[in-house]
A and B are shown apart, each in its own frame.
Chain A
Amino acid sequence: MSKILVIAEHLNGKLNSSTARAVSAAAAVKPEAIDVLVLADNADAIAAEAAKIDGVSRVLTIARAENAHPLAAVLAPQIAKAAAGYSHVFAPSTTFGKDVLPRVAALLGVAQVSDVMSVEGSHTFKRPIYAGNAIITVEADAGSTVVATIRTASWSAAASGTNSAPVEALSVDAALPSHTRFVELQSGKSDRPDLQSASKVVSGGRGVGSKENFDIIYKFADKIGAGVGASRAAVDAGYVPSDLQVGQTGKIIAPELYMAIGISGAIQHLTGIKDAGTIVAINKDGEAPIFEIADIGLVGDLFKIIPELEQAL
């Protein structure tokens, strides 16, 4: 039988919702236990949140000053030790999970399955390759630990609230390196819904034209309570910070509503939004590739259409 260790992602003392998505994928393996591992300097509040997630059997904490920031070189040896006795180690396929988990896999001497979209069996998974243009079924070696990152856009977050899993402090005997140090995090602070968990997202592209013009996107997003995203062209042109980028090299999202405004729809962008519920495209070029995957399309000038949309709301 399977026992799964899910690595918790957190920031500023709060559990990230990507953790509950990884728990959903773990549940799909139908294991006998799902334990969540919290590595932090102060793990209590995070562990308490993790303990409430449905399906979690135990929450294990490793609270050390060295774990104050998620440095892969520091966390990986601890996770590799904690993995003993588990058949699977899962982490969300966020920049956190992508950074740390391959390091864990190499320490364990095993391969990693990246971006699990679906679980077909305890060792069989589906994952995207070629920017989502092909989906492969992969079989992991049944004799070794399965290390996998979970594509958050493919899984909804496990419900939270009714569970109260026990929290246990774990001590692992792992030598931690001092060769890597955290300096600072410059975060693009925003009161808007987080791009990756927002149910609605409004994205702007090159067609928006300038940093100043992007205000029209922000205003419209605020009006409908949406998160804001952008294409790579808009990021490269300096209209918005890079953490808003949606696509193969940015964030992969699956909101209920995705509105692409002034975005032509390069393959790399479409990869990031393929699983969105309803895709709306607004573009003045009726031939733009975005219309091939849009559920609702509107050809026209965004500077004329957005005020009209606001009026019609």
Chain B
Amino acid sequence: MKILVGYKRVVDYNVRIQVKPDGTGVVTDGVKLSANPFDDIALEEALRLREKGVAEEVVVVGIGPADLTAHLRNGLAMGANRAIHVVTTDAVQPLTAARIFQKLIEKEQPGLVILGKQAIDDDANQTGQMLAALWDRPQATFASKVEIADGKVTVTREVDAGLEVIEAELPAVITTDLRLNEPRFIKLPDIMKAKSKPIDTIEFGSLGVEANDHLKTTHYAAPAKRSKGVMVKDAAELVAALKQKGLL
């Protein structure tokens, strides 16, 4: 079985985002970029499935400008067999990303697609579900445990009410939650090895996917600031303050 893994590059999760004063965007120049944390978990899970003998090949897929290659090399260094780079300089919304994956699926015929549950930049949490719909296959979102046997995948999902277990026939789309696994670190020799692994480059325009953005972002703003708080010196003072506010 072949596994496709979505591997998005985003502003690093430790960066404190600044909104541009004119409201046209957030400052991304000179800001550290990293793999979307949920995508690292997706790749780790795919690699573990390959190590268990469930899968033979793991392919990381990135959508973005020419310099995304360096990011894809990180995925290869982590252990992916090869990478596909869909080249576009435009920001890609989830529906377009799902349509791109659908085209790649037609060509690659994977048994499983693993994506992160959301990207920490747009926080949309849509691409995996949209892809499953376009592909007309099962989806298992927010996965915290994945088991594959007999052409079926059993997934434990983190839902508001607790943990839900579902069973789905393959091929399917899984999106990862944080607790699925602990991604491995990249070792230096693997970075060297990754240099000789193949990266297929596909121009976005050649895929025949419509690029029209259905959602237009017209303004960016910093969140409303909370007013400055007060410090109290002991428990009695805290209780008094809360009682005064009518909260206790």
Contact = CB atoms under 8 A, between A and B. Distances in A.
A binds B: yes
Interface string B93-128: 111001000000000000000000000111111111
A136 B220 contact: yes
A32 B154 CA distance: 44
B138 A179 contact: yes
Interface stretch (B9-17, B54-62, B73-81, B191-199): B9-17
B208 to A, nearest CB: 15
Interface string A152-179: 0000000000000000000000000101
B141 interface: yes
B159 A224 contact: no
Contacts of A71: 166
A33 B56 CA distance: 53
A184 B136 CA distance: 23
A94 to B, nearest CB: 5
Contact of B214 (A124, A141, A188, A277): A141
A106 B161 contact: no
B229 A129 contact: no
B15 to A, nearest CB: 9
Interface string A70-100: 0111001000000000000000001110111
Interface in B133-188: 133-134, 136-142, 144, 154, 157-169, 172, 177-179
A285 to B, nearest CB: 13
A178 to B, nearest CB: 9
B133 A76 contact: yes
A102 B17 contact: no
A17 to B, nearest CB: 12
A95 B160 contact: yes
Interface in A96-112: 96, 98-107, 109-112
A249 B162 CA distance: 14
B161 A243 contact: yes
B11 to A, nearest CB: 7
- B interface bracket (residues with beta carbon within 8 Å of A): 35 or more
Given A99-B141, A130-B123, 14 more contacts: A102-B129, A105-B126, A110-B214, A111-B94, A133-B223, A134-B221, A179-B138, A180-B169, A183-B154, A235-B179, A242-B144, A249-B177, A267-B16, A298-B237
Interface residues of A, number: 89
A1 to B, nearest CB: 21
Interface string A117-160: 00000001000111111111111110010000000000000000
Given A11-B161, A179-B138, A295-B226, A106 B95 contact: yes
CB-based closest 9 A-B pairs: A308-B235, A187-B162, A111-B214, A102-B129, A106-B133, A106-B130, A102-B126, A183-B165, A312-B239
B247 A135 contact: no
Contact of A280 (B17, B126, B136, B242): B242
Given A71-B166, A72-B139, A140 B215 contact: yes
A278 B163 CA distance: 30
Interface of B: 11, 13, 16-17, 19, 26, 93-95, 98, 120-134, 136-142, 144, 154, 157-169, 172, 177-179, 213-223, 226-227, 229-242, 245, 247-248
- Candidate in A111, A138, A241, A267 with the most chain B CB atoms within 10 angstroms: A111
27 contacts: A94-B160, A95-B158, A95-B160, A103-B139, A111-B95, A112-B124, A128-B223, A130-B26, A133-B17, A135-B223, A137-B221, A138-B216, A138-B217, A186-B162, A186-B164, A224-B248, A241-B162, A267-B13, A268-B13, A280-B242, A291-B231, A298-B235, A300-B234, A308-B234, A309-B238, A312-B236, A313-B239
Interface of A: 11, 71-73, 76, 94-96, 98-107, 109-115, 124, 128-141, 144, 177, 179-188, 196, 200, 224, 232, 235-236, 241-243, 248-249, 251, 256-257, 267-268, 274, 277-280, 282, 291, 293-300, 305, 308-309, 311-313
A294 B136 CA distance: 47
Given A297-B230, A298-B231, A102 B214 contact: no
A286 to B, nearest CB: 8
B242 A73 contact: no
B214 A232 contact: no
Nearest to B219: A137
Chain A interface, DSSP helix/strand/loop, else mixed: mixed
A139 B218 CA distance: 7
A180 B164 contact: no
A181 B126 contact: no
Contacts of B165: 182-186
A100 B221 CA distance: 29
Contacts of A72: 129, 132, 139, 141
A309 B247 CA distance: 14
Contacts of A297: 229-232
B156 to A, nearest CB: 8
A182 B164 contact: yes
Nearest to A99: B141
